[in-house]
Structure 1
């Protein structure tokens, strides 16, 4: 996904949970790529979901959540695209952005109904009132 659009390149560092004991061999499954810094988080999540990076499982119902300092989206094997938890654009500076890139992690929720995962994360409060 390296793009040469206007703007400079942003390094993206992705990790994910393991789905089985045999999958632990290369944990945390680090993947790096570059994108144009003017790309939206939704574009990055859609790109990762289209790779073979997030394992599919037998039965076709793996559920993942994408996070970067905050929950970003739910990705389900049976869904065509990630479902974002925010309708507003999210700036890289609001995420786990470090000096060497933007960090994203994908949590594995086994075969939990993705709508339940979405509803829990959508209502999640990270700070008290």
Structure 2
């Protein structure tokens, strides 16, 4: 069996009702040769909640570096060049951390 790395995922709440499930954390296992883009694609597809309306967006970051952003409820993130980094090249700590920041629509 191939070695896997642990990734700690956190995300912002999207509403007061969403706060009852806080903190929003999960642990993900991935292969060392996976890129950040592979991991974040899974998160945008399966982990980020859908929000009514439009104009909101999500930003994924690790170690202060932006990996991707998405607009509205799009399942397809727009990646930065940093997203092509392999996990094994980034992992310096016991656990790699990715945070998803929610930006609500402005009225």
Q: Do both share a fold (TM > 0.5)?
A: yes
Name stretches of at least 5 consecutive residues in structure 1 with no aligned partner: 113-129
Distance in 2, matches of 1:96 and 1:35, equals 12
User: CA separation of 1:95/1:18 partners in 2, compared to 1, >3 Å: closer, same or farther?
Assistant: farther
2:35 and 2:83 in contact (8 A); partners too: no
Larger % of strand: which?
Answer: 2
| Mapped pair 1:63 → 2:57 | yes
Paired residue total: 105
Q: What is the CA RMSD across the aligned residues, in angstroms?
A: 2.4
What is the TM-score when the length of structure 2 is the normalising length?
0.81
Task: With a CA cutoff of 8 Å and minimum separation of 6, indicate the structure with the bigger relative contact order.
Answer: 2
The answer for the alignment partner of 1:75 in structure 2 is 70
After TM superposition, the runs of 4+ consecutive aligned structure 1 residues lying more than 3 A away are: 77-80, 91-97
Distance in 1, matches of 2:83 and 2:42, equals 19
Q: CA deviation at 1:93?
A: 6.3
Name stretches of at least 5 consecutive residues in structure 2 with no aligned partner: none
Choose 1 or 2 for highest CA Rg. 1
